[in-house]
Amino acid sequence: MNSRIHYLSALLVLLSISFPTSLIGIFIKLNFDKINRMLPNALSYLLFVIMVFFTGYIGSINYNVNIYFIITAFIFSFVCIALELFEGIIIHFIKYRVWIRNIEVHEIVEKKNIFIDIIIIFIGALCEEIIFRQVFFNISYNIFSVNIFTLIILSSFIYALNHIYFGANAVFQKFIAGLIYSLLFVYSSFNIIVPALCHFFQNGILYVLSLKKLKKYNT
């Protein structure tokens, strides 16, 4: 393959996976009254993973993970939640000069089928990590030789920017989570399972809390 074409194709893949918010936005705007609310996001990223798979830029995936990193991923899922909440509290105080006293988890489920919900959460978390960690690092680090620490920041920023449809504050919150996912990915010797588990645990915890909130209001 001509080296110029190789670099151009890699760059195009980077650009296409860096800003998939348009596709996600289209799915969100569709009528999903009778379908799980989390499905549009998971389906969008799944489609991107399938498309990128055929480009060959996913690279080799390391599936071997020891119990140490599984425990680490679980612990840092709580850290992600805590830091996102802390950021939200600080931003709210800066804007309104009032400290938040009560925090509620955003309702994202309708408790129709918990098993299906968990599968969708897992698919969404895994696909996002494949896109924003596995593919992004593979192309940027192995092909364009971007500095690893610069890449951690850049990957986190791109990941955060793809949550702009949740609002500007979500971008700052997801940047924090993105940093943690990226660091886990790098320090686990580029094992995508580790940040994917952390991402899944974080979303799973929020899901359980939202279920409790839903149960509270229905009783």
Tokens encoding 158? 């791109």
Least confident of 36-50, 111-125, 127-141, 184-198: 36-50
Please enumerate, as own/partner, the contacts of 51-54 that have beta carbons within 8 Å and a separation of 24 or more: 51/16, 52/13, 52/17, 52/130, 52/131, 52/135
- Residue-averaged pLDDT of the chain: 83
What would the pLDDT profile of 54-86 be if each residue is shown by its tens digit?
Answer: 888 888 888 788 899 999 999 999 999 999 999
What was the pLDDT predicted at 165?
A: 74
Q: In the numeric block, which tokens belong to residue 160?
A: 């955060």
DSSP-based three-state secondary structure for 6: helix
Question: In sequence order, what are the residues at sequence separation of 6 or more whose Cβ sits closer than 8 angstroms to the Cβ of residue 142?
Answer: 59
The pLDDT of residue 110 is: 56
Is the confidence at residue 34, as pLDDT, over 50?
no
pLDDT score, position 96: 86
pLDDT of residue 64: 83
Identify the pLDDT of residue 1: 46
d(CA 77, CA 201): 6
Show the 3-state SS of 128-151. HHHHHHHHHHHHHHHHCCCCHHHH
Which band of pLDDT confidence, cut at 50, 70 and 90, is reported for residue 13? confident
Could you tell me the pTM of the whole model? 0.86
Per-residue pLDDT at 22: 54
Angle, in degrees to the nearest 10, between helices 168-187 and 67-96? 160
Q: Identify which of 39, 84, 89 has the alpha carbon closest to the alpha carbon of residue 174.
A: 84
pLDDT, position 188: 94
| Helix and strand totals (H; E) in the chain | 9, 0
Q: What is the pLDDT of residue 192?
A: 96
